[in-house]
Amino acid sequence: MNIEPIDLREIDKRAANVYEAIIVAAKRSRQINAENKIEYNALTSSVPSSASDDENEDIQNPIQLKAALELDKRPKPHQIALDELLSDKIKFEYRKK
């Protein structure tokens, strides 16, 4: 996994305040993570559980493992959110009082 630095000047061009833009990206990241969690739970809820209820067993369900690996290959939510912020896909504004 490569770590790519993000130039804060690029974020500063997209918002009046860098810190506010980071907060917006963090909130979007949480939304993406929640969507991924719902998707993962939907995938694993359709997977039948093993007949044994022994918690000490190390046997994993291959269908559940496949779903987890598939979701793990995706870009991380914070990276998606920062990419959306830098490509002007996220619009934000202040609430009017």
Closest by Cα among 34, 11, 7, 8 to 90: 11
8-state DSSP, 76: P
Q: How confident is the model at residue 15 (pLDDT cuts 50, 70, 90)?
A: confident
Task: Give me the number of domains the chain comprises.
Answer: 1
| pTM metric for this prediction | 0.77
- Residue 88, phi-psi category: left (phi > 0), alpha (psi -120 to 50), beta (remainder): left
Average pLDDT in the chain: 83
Cα distance between residue 18 and residue 24, in whole Å: 10
Cα distance between residue 69 and residue 65, in whole Å: 6
Which residue range is the domain that position 28 belongs to?
17-46+60-97
**31: in domain:** yes
Crossing angle of helices 62-72 and 18-45, rounded to 10° = 160
**55: in domain:** no
pLDDT digits (tens, 9 = 90+) for 56-69: 555 577 777 888 88
**93: in domain:** yes
**12: in domain:** no
